[in-house]
């Protein structure tokens, strides 16, 4: 006669997985939109007088998985990454590679806060499974 193996908490775990599967995309999308809003606000605060127009044109787009930061200002790349390699880009600050002047520095300065938003979203999405024996 074969012994049956019983896994304690398995039915609850399966129900929790279904709940997590439903909540996870929604929570991650909400977190992505919050981070995008906060990132744009921080970038606008960092922009110098010349870059304010490009920073003001930052907006939040949406895709199926989260949020996109978009910009329609034609001077955005010059103001963010610099220029001065050609006569046509002399009015921008010096090129600094991928370092950036306002958008990417704002992300680096707020990385810990953004990580906390992600962590909270994951915790909210997975709190259905808090089973203890």
Q: Does residue 77 sit within a domain?
A: yes
> What is the spatial distance between Cα 26 and Cα 29, in angstroms, rounded to a whole number?
5
Q: Does residue 72 sit within a domain?
A: yes
Residue 78, SS3?
helix
**DSSP secondary structure string for all residues of 9-49:** THHHHHHHHHHHHHHHHHHHHHHHHHHHHHHHHHHHHH--T
pLDDT tens digits for 99-120?
Answer: 999 999 999 999 999 999 999 9
User: Domain range spanning residue 85?
Assistant: 27-125
Q: Does residue 19 sit within a domain?
A: no
Lookup: tokens for 100 = 């950036």
Q: Does residue 44 sit within a domain?
A: yes
Give me the mean pLDDT over the 80-101 stretch: 89
Q: Does residue 21 sit within a domain?
A: no
* Residue 83 DSSP label: B
């Amino acid at each position: 006669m074969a012994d049956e193996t019983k896994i304690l908490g398995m039915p609850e775990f399966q129900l929790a997985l279904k709940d997590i599967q439903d909540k996870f995309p929604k929570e991650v999308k909400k977190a992505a939109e919050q981070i995008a809003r906060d990132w744009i606000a921080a970038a606008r605060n960092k922009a110098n007088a010349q870059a304010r127009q490009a920073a003001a044109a930052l907006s939040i787009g949406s895709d199926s998985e989260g949020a996109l930061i978009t910009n329609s200002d034609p001077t955005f790349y010059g103001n963010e990454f610099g220029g001065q390699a050609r006569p046509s880009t002399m009015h921008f600050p010096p090129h600094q590679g991928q370092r950036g002047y306002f958008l990417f520095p704002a992300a680096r300065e707020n990385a810990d806060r953004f990580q906390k938003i992600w962590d909270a979203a994951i915790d909210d999405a997975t709190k259905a499974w808090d089973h203890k024996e």
